[in-house]
Amino acid sequence: MKSILHKAATRGYADHGWLKSWHSFSFAGYYNPERMHFGALRVLNDDTVAGGMGFGTHPHDNMEIISIPTFGDLEHRDSMGNQQVIHQGDVQVMSAGTGIQHAEYNFNKDQEVRFFQIWVFPKTRNVAPRYDQQSIAAESMHNRLQTVVSPLGTNDGGVQIHQDAWFSLGRLEKNTAIGYSLHKKGNGIYAFVIEGDVTINGQTLNRRDGIGITETDTLTIHADDKAEILLMEVPV
């Protein structure tokens, strides 16, 4: 097993007033040649957007873009005609493919929205753009890992993307121990602690820490305190 630890405080940070963003990998004004990506995982941004503010219409292509709100509501509009509100508890994906224009705003003017914006390199380039959004029941994540993203064409659950990647969310009570077996040989896994403290394969992690793990088929996760965790299994 090989691993690389990214402590929360070592992430890049940008404060634009209306937007505060922590970057686990190089993004925009944050550049670290040692933190460009983890395999197919290109971007993991921890964003907070002020009430009524947001990202104006802008283009993307050949990227799988996943949004996971952790507080508040995010409004999405795109050139395919989608206009949706993504709530806390939802997972959304936009496959940019051959090209798409979209905008994202805080749906509420009186409170901030906090969400993770995640980019994954696609398995196939220049596919037709597509949109998907699902609500994840809180009880499905209680002391277990719930699949929230899986490869297009599988029946593994969650929203689907053009990549051999599986994302899972879990909310663990203190002293809960669970295992994870990778779906595809040769994949790696990037674990991100949303809240709390956990130990993964012997490595202690705290709130907003991340760890990339390769050359293993399984993980053992122990909640040292009440915790919420996101696992991102991707080709490396």
1 domain residue, yes or no: no
pLDDT tens-digit readout, 71-85: 999 999 999 999 999
Q: Is residue 192 within 8 Å of 7, Cβ to Cβ? A: no
Count up the domains in the chain and report the number: 2
Residue 62 CA to residue 72 CA, distance in Å, equals 28
User: Considering the domain boundaries, does residue 6 fall inside one?
Assistant: no
- Domain membership flag for residue 4: no
Residues 107, 22: one domain?
Answer: yes
Residues 69, 75: Cα–Cα separation, whole Å: 11
| Domain presence at residue 3 | no
Tell me which residue range forms the domain holding 50. 11-135
Q: Please give the Cα distance from 106 to 101 (Å, whole number).
A: 18
Dump pLDDT digits (tens) for 102-161: 999 999 999 999 999 999 999 999 999 999 999 999 999 999 999 999 999 999 999 999
Q: Which residues contact 213 (CB under 8 A, 6 or more apart)?
A: 1, 2, 3, 188, 189, 190, 191, 200, 201, 219
**What CA–CA distance (Å, rounded) separates 146 from 149?**
9
Comparing CA positions, the residue from 36, 24, 12, 46 lying closest to residue 211 is: 24
First to last CA, the chain: 14
Q: How far is CA 25 from CA 10, 16, 69, 110, 193, in A?
A: 10, 18, 19, 30, 15
Taking only the tens place, the pLDDT of each residue in 29-63 is 999 999 999 999 999 999 999 999 999 999 999 99
Q: The domain that contains 32 carries what CATH number?
A: 2.60.120.10
Domain finish residue from 77, 103, 135: 135
